[in-house]
Structure 1
Amino acid sequence: MLHNVPQDLQTLGADLRALRKARGLTLTDMAEALDRSVGWLSQVERDKSEPTISDLRQIAKVLGVPMSMLFGQSSAPAHEQGYVVRAGARRPMGGSEEGLVEELLSPDLTDDFEMVHSTFAPRSTMQDAATRPTQEVGYIISGRLELCIGGQAFSVGPGDSFRIRGEEYHWANPHDEACVAIWVIAPPVY
């Protein structure tokens, strides 16, 4: 589902198109670097399709930008900016094609860490295992998640927490219920 964006804010697609053009890349160049079709990339740039978290990670890498540049913009009133994030005003990250939708809980990315609200759809799985130069702690609010951290398999559920310290990890939610988790990541990767 695409998010409604106030008219005065740039959309993700417009930002991606501007970044791509600023780097002298054609749609074909970028699509090839992402191992995606030109049609898919064109739909993303026209806000007709939302990329997954894994897609955004790859796009950021190809464009040489931090993931935070690809977050939606916050619409907090001026006096709350930097202090409060309202439930309906979280900055979304990625589409639900992969089965993971993340929202930034931190007011911004200026701290030594970030907090992210993650919703893993039923029967979803991470496209590719990842390794990040971070320390991360996750807390499961509801549902169950199957994790592989540093080659070890874990099944976590409500009230469980886990830590990832620079190890390769992969997640899957093979269950019929969504899993909701809160992650604290240091340093911020988005």
Structure 2
Amino acid sequence: MSEIAAAADPGPGPADHDASALALGARIRALRKRRGLTLTQAASDADLSHSFLSQVERGHERLSMASLFRIARALGTTQQALLTDEPEGVPSGGFHVYRATSDSPVDAGSGSGAVTVLAQQRARFLPMIFSGSFEDDGLWWQHDEEEFVYVLEGEIVIVLEDEEVTLARGDAAYYGGGSRHKWRTAPGETCQVLVVKEQQHHT
């Protein structure tokens, strides 16, 4: 798993102490301690400031997806694993219900994007809704997990390696693990996109 990124702001700003930000911070802190890393070591490995990571762990800062990726990589895990809880013995054929909430532990980063995570428990797939505008800030995403994208509203441009495609409402795209990709919307335009990511359980 790798990320090729231009220099970026560590995060979009303070969180409002919502439950999802507190839960995400607690998971990051617990995994960091299990890995035997100090706050300073983990922040250095993630290329973030010590004070920023401290605020994140206490639920006082909301992360961008790029910063969450850096933290996950430093802790030897994935964004998906940090965004969801380990289920407590879910039986075969079991299910869980997602209840709508205004809480969001992360923001999409560039532009005015927001991310809604549609699951609390860890499962094979993680559905998320990305809403807002997205700029091409030079950041490429590349990860081991497979990904499915479905446009709910508006249009989005997806760049896969050297190929560029525009998806409108009702269009979808799928790309396998290891594919370099990035998104953008037209200037001044917004979109709402359902993203389903595969989860790999190796935390």
User: Which category describes the TM-score, using the shorter chain as reference length?
Assistant: 0.7 to 0.9
Shift in alpha-carbon separation, 1:178–1:84, aligned structure 2, 3 A: farther
Pairing partner for 1:178 from 185, 190, 194: 190
Q: TM-score, normalised by structure 1?
A: 0.74
> Does residue 123 of structure 2 align to residue 110 of structure 1?
yes
CA contact (8 A) 2:24 2:105 kept: no
CA contact (8 A) 1:146 1:153 kept: yes
The CA distance in 2 between the partners of 1:52 and 1:127, in whole Å, is 15
Shift in alpha-carbon separation, 1:163–1:57, aligned structure 2, 3 A: same
Higher relative contact order (CA 8 A, sep 6+): 2
Q: Which amino acid aligns with 2:170?
A: G
Shift in alpha-carbon separation, 1:115–1:37, aligned structure 2, 3 A: closer
CA contact (8 A) 1:142 1:180 kept: yes
- State the partner residue of 1:78: none
Query: How many matched pairs?
Result: 178
- State the partner residue of 2:11: none
The CA distance in 2 between the partners of 1:66 and 1:123, in whole Å, is 22
Q: Offset of 1:21 from its aligned partner?
A: 2.7
The CA distance in 2 between the partners of 1:126 and 1:88, in whole Å, is 31
- State the partner residue of 1:163: 174
CA contact (8 A) 1:126 1:170 kept: no
- State the partner residue of 1:30: 42
Q: Which amino acid aligns with 2:33?
A: K
CA contact (8 A) 1:71 1:91 kept: no
The CA distance in 1 between the partners of 2:34 and 2:126, in whole Å, is 31
Q: What secondary structure is seen at the aligned counterpart in 2 of 1:36?
A: coil
CA contact (8 A) 1:141 1:159 kept: yes
Shift in alpha-carbon separation, 1:11–1:117, aligned structure 2, 3 A: closer
Pairing partner for 2:165 from 138, 150, 154: 154
Q: Deviations over 1:130-169 (max 9, x none)?
A: 2233443311110221211122112222122122123211
The CA distance in 2 between the partners of 1:101 and 1:51, in whole Å, is 11
The CA distance in 1 between the partners of 2:59 and 2:176, in whole Å, is 35
Aligned alpha-carbon RMSD (Å): 3.3
Q: What secondary structure is seen at the aligned counterpart in 2 of 1:88?
A: coil
Pairing partner for 2:25 from 13, 21, 38: 13
Q: Offset of 1:171 from its aligned partner?
A: 1.0
Q: TM-score, normalised by structure 2?
A: 0.70
- State the partner residue of 1:63: 75
Shift in alpha-carbon separation, 1:115–1:42, aligned structure 2, 3 A: closer
Higher deviation after alignment, 140-149 or 56-65:
56-65
Q: Which runs of 4+ in 1 moved over 6 A?
A: none
CA contact (8 A) 1:146 1:156 kept: yes
Q: Which amino acid aligns with 2:123?
A: T
Q: What secondary structure is seen at the aligned counterpart in 2 of 1:146?
A: strand
Q: Which amino acid aligns with 1:131?
A: Q
Shift in alpha-carbon separation, 1:165–1:91, aligned structure 2, 3 A: farther
Q: Which amino acid aligns with 1:30?
A: A
